[in-house]
Amino acid sequence: MRGEASPRPNPSGTFEPSLTRRITRFVWPLFALLAIVYASFGAYFVTLVLGFHVVVSFPLLWWLDSRHRSRRARYALLMTVLSATIAVEVGLPAHTSADLFFLATACLATLLFDVRPLRHQIGATGLVFAGWGFAELAFPRFGLAVPWVPGEVSLRFFESLHILLSAVLAITSLKAYHASLARLRERHLTRAAQQHALIEAAYEKLSLKEKDLREAQSIAKIGNWSYDVNTGEIHWSPQMFKIFPEAPERGEPDFDRHASTIHPDDHPYWRATIEQCLIDREPYQMRFRAVHPDREVWVEVRGQARVEDGRLVGLFGTCQDISSLVLAEEARREVELKMTETFEAMLEGVLIHNRAGQVIQFNRTALRLLELGENQIVEFFGKRSDGAFFREDGTPCPPEEHPAAVAVASGRAQYHQVIGYRAPAGLLRWILVNAQPTRFDKQGVAQEVIVTFVDRTESVRHERKLTELKSRLETAVRAVGFGVWDWDLKTGRLHWESHMFKLFDVDEREFDGTFAGFAETLHPDDVARVEAEVKEALGRRQAEFRTEFRVRISNGEGYRHVACGATCGYDQNGEAERMVGCNWDISERVAREQAIRAQQAQLLQSAKMASLGEMAGGIAHEINNPLAIILAKAHQVRRRLGAPPIDAPQVEAEIAKIEDTAERIGKIIRGLRTFSRHAEGDPMMEVPFGDVLRDTLELCKERFAKSLVALQIEGETNLAVRCRPAQISQVLMNLLNNAHDAVHELPEKWIRVRAEVGPGERLRVSVTDSGHGISPSVVAKMMDPFFTTKEVGRGTGLGLSISKSILEDHGGSLGYDPTSHHTRFVLEVPLAARGTAAPRAA
Amino acid sequence: MSTGALNGRHILVVDDEALLREILVDEFEGYGARVSAAADGAEALELCRRTDFDAIVSDIRMPKMDGLAFLRQLRNETTCGAKVFVCSGFNDAEEELSRLDVVDVFPKPFDIVALANRVIDALGEAKPRNDPVD
- A379-432 pLDDT, tens digit each: 666 555 666 788 888 888 888 888 888 888 888 898 988 888 887 777 788 888
Say how far apart CA A380 and CA B78 lie, in whole Å. Answer: 128
Contact B23 A708 (CB under 8 A): no
Q: Is residue B132 part of a domain?
A: no
The model's pTM is 0.39
Q: What is the pLDDT of residues A258-287, one digit of tens each?
A: 888 899 999 999 999 999 998 898 999 999
Q: Does the pLDDT at position A724 exceed 70? A: yes
Picking from A264, A294, A328, the residue at the C-terminal end of a domain is A328
**C-alpha separations of A333 from A39, A296, A302, A341, A364 in Å:** 107, 20, 24, 12, 21
Q: Is residue B131 part of a domain?
A: no
Half-sphere exposure for A265 (CA within 13 Å, toward CB): 6
Specify whether the CB–CB gap between B89 and B67 falls below 8 A: no
Helix (H, G, I), strand (E, B) or coil at A171: helix
Q: What is the pLDDT of residues A727-744, one digit of tens each?
A: 888 889 888 988 888 888
Specify whether the CB–CB gap between A618 and A702 falls below 8 A: yes
- At residue A146, the pLDDT reads 45
* A441 and A496 assigned to the same domain: no
Q: Which domain holds residue A563?
A: 480-585
Picking from A300, A328, A356, the residue at the C-terminal end of a domain is A328
- At residue A619, the pLDDT reads 73
A206 touches chain B (CB under 8 A): no
Contact B27 A621 (CB under 8 A): no
Contact A624 B113 (CB under 8 A): no
CATH number, position B43: 3.40.50.2300
From the list A631, A706, A708, the residue facing B109 with the nearest CB is A631
Contact B91 A635 (CB under 8 A): no
Contact A705 B17 (CB under 8 A): no
H helices, E strands: number in chain A? 24, 23
DSSP letter for each residue of A438-462: EEE-TTS-EEEEEEEEEE-HHHHHH
The ipTM, to two decimals, is 0.81
* A142 and A162 assigned to the same domain: yes
Average pLDDT for chain B: 81
Q: Is residue A333 part of a domain?
A: no
Q: Is residue B118 part of a domain?
A: yes
CB atoms within 10 A of CB A664: 19
Contact A629 B19 (CB under 8 A): yes
Q: Does the pLDDT at position B22 exceed 50? A: yes
Tell me the chain A residues in contact with residue B2 when contact means C-beta distances shorter than 8 Å: none
- At residue A488, the pLDDT reads 92
Q: Does the pLDDT at position A143 exceed 50? A: no
* A564 and A604 assigned to the same domain: no
Count of structural domains within chain B: 1
Q: Is residue B62 part of a domain?
A: yes
Give the count of Cβ contacts less than 8 A between chain A and B: 70
Question: Among A115-124, A801-810, B34-43, which is the least confidently predicted range?
Answer: A115-124
* A544 and A484 assigned to the same domain: yes
* A577 and A602 assigned to the same domain: no
CA angle A401, A402, A408 (to 5 degrees): 90
Q: What is the pLDDT of residues A327-341, one digit of tens each?
A: 999 999 999 999 999
Q: Does the pLDDT at position A6 exceed 60? A: no
* A383 and A521 assigned to the same domain: no
* A499 and A446 assigned to the same domain: no
DSSP letter for each residue of A296-335: EEEEEEEEEEEEETTEEEEEEEEEEE-HHHHHHHHHHHHH
Count of structural domains within chain A: 5
* A302 and A426 assigned to the same domain: no
From the list A618, A624, A661, the residue facing B19 with the nearest CB is A661
Picking from A295, A328, A361, the residue at the C-terminal end of a domain is A328
Tell me the chain A residues in contact with residue B16 when contact means C-beta distances shorter than 8 Å: 705-706
- Phi, psi (deg, nearest 5) at residue A594: -65, -40
Contact A620 B16 (CB under 8 A): no
B19 touches chain A (CB under 8 A): yes
Say how far apart CA A281 and CA A275 lie, in whole Å. Answer: 9
Would you place residue A170 in the very low, low, confident or very high pLDDT band (cuts 50, 70, 90)?
low
- At residue A2, the pLDDT reads 46
* A321 and A351 assigned to the same domain: no
Residues comprising chain A, all counted: 842
For B20, the closest chain A residue by CA position comes to: A629
Contact A621 B24 (CB under 8 A): no
Q: Which domain holds residue B93?
A: 10-124
Question: Among A107-116, A189-198, A702-711, B55-64, which is the least confidently predicted range?
Answer: A107-116
Say how far apart CA B113 and CA A642 lie, in whole Å. Answer: 15
Say how far apart CA A356 and CA A360 lie, in whole Å. Answer: 11
Longest dimension (CA), chain A: 245
Q: Does the pLDDT at position A177 exceed 80? A: no
3-state helix, strand, coil in chain B (%, to 5): 40, 20, 40
A702's enclosing H/E stretch is helix A689-707
Q: Report the candidate in A548, A618, A641 with the shortest Cα–Cα distance to residue A589.
A: A548
Tell me the chain B residues in contact with residue A623 when contact means C-beta distances shorter than 8 Å: 89
From the list A618, A635, A705, the residue facing B112 with the nearest CB is A635
Which residues 49-88 of chain B have a CB within 8 Å of chain A?
61-64, 66, 87-88
Residue A15: left (phi > 0), alpha (psi -120 to 50), or beta?
Answer: beta
Q: What is the pLDDT of residues B68-105, one digit of tens each?
A: 888 888 888 877 778 888 887 666 667 777 777 888 88
Pairing of strands B83-88, B102-107: parallel
Mutation target among B2, B23, B111 for the A interface, most CBs of A within 10 A: B23
* A143 and A125 assigned to the same domain: yes
Q: Does the pLDDT at position B134 exceed 50? A: no
* A182 and A37 assigned to the same domain: yes
- Quote the DSSP letter at residue A262: B
For B61, the closest chain A residue by CA position comes to: A706
Tell me the chain B residues in contact with residue A620 when contact means C-beta distances shorter than 8 Å: 89-91
- At residue A119, the pLDDT reads 62
Helix (H, G, I), strand (E, B) or coil at A369: helix
Q: Does the pLDDT at position A768 exceed 90? A: yes
Q: Is residue A198 part of a domain?
A: no
Would you place residue A564 in the very low, low, confident or very high pLDDT band (cuts 50, 70, 90)?
very high
* Arithmetic mean of pLDDT, A550-562: 83
Nearest chain B Cα distance for residue A609, angstroms = 19
Average pLDDT for chain A: 80
* Arithmetic mean of pLDDT, A748-761: 89
Q: What is the pLDDT of residues A347-359, one digit of tens each?
A: 888 989 888 878 8
B107 touches chain A (CB under 8 A): yes
Nearest chain B Cα distance for residue A707, angstroms = 6
Q: What is the pLDDT of residues A446-483, one digit of tens each?
A: 889 999 988 888 887 888 899 999 899 888 887 888 88
Say how far apart CA A90 and CA A666 lie, in whole Å. Answer: 206
Q: Would the CA dihedral through A494, A500, A506, A507 be positive or negative?
A: positive
B134 touches chain A (CB under 8 A): no
Highest mean pLDDT among A167-176, A205-214, A526-535, B101-110: A526-535
* Arithmetic mean of pLDDT, B52-65: 84
Q: Does the pLDDT at position A23 exceed 70? A: no
Residue that wins the pLDDT comparison between A28 and A322: A322
CB atoms within 10 A of CB A828: 22
- At residue A105, the pLDDT reads 56
* A566 residue type, one letter: A
Q: Does the pLDDT at position A96 exceed 60? A: no
Q: Is residue A399 part of a domain?
A: yes
B109 touches chain A (CB under 8 A): yes
Q: Does the pLDDT at position A151 exceed 80? A: no
A613 touches chain B (CB under 8 A): no
* Arithmetic mean of pLDDT, A55-60: 73
Q: Is residue B130 part of a domain?
A: no
Tell me the chain A residues in contact with residue B64 when contact means C-beta distances shorter than 8 Å: 708
Q: What is the CA radius of gyration of chain A?
A: 73
From the list A624, A632, A706, the residue facing B23 with the nearest CB is A632
* A276 and A418 assigned to the same domain: no
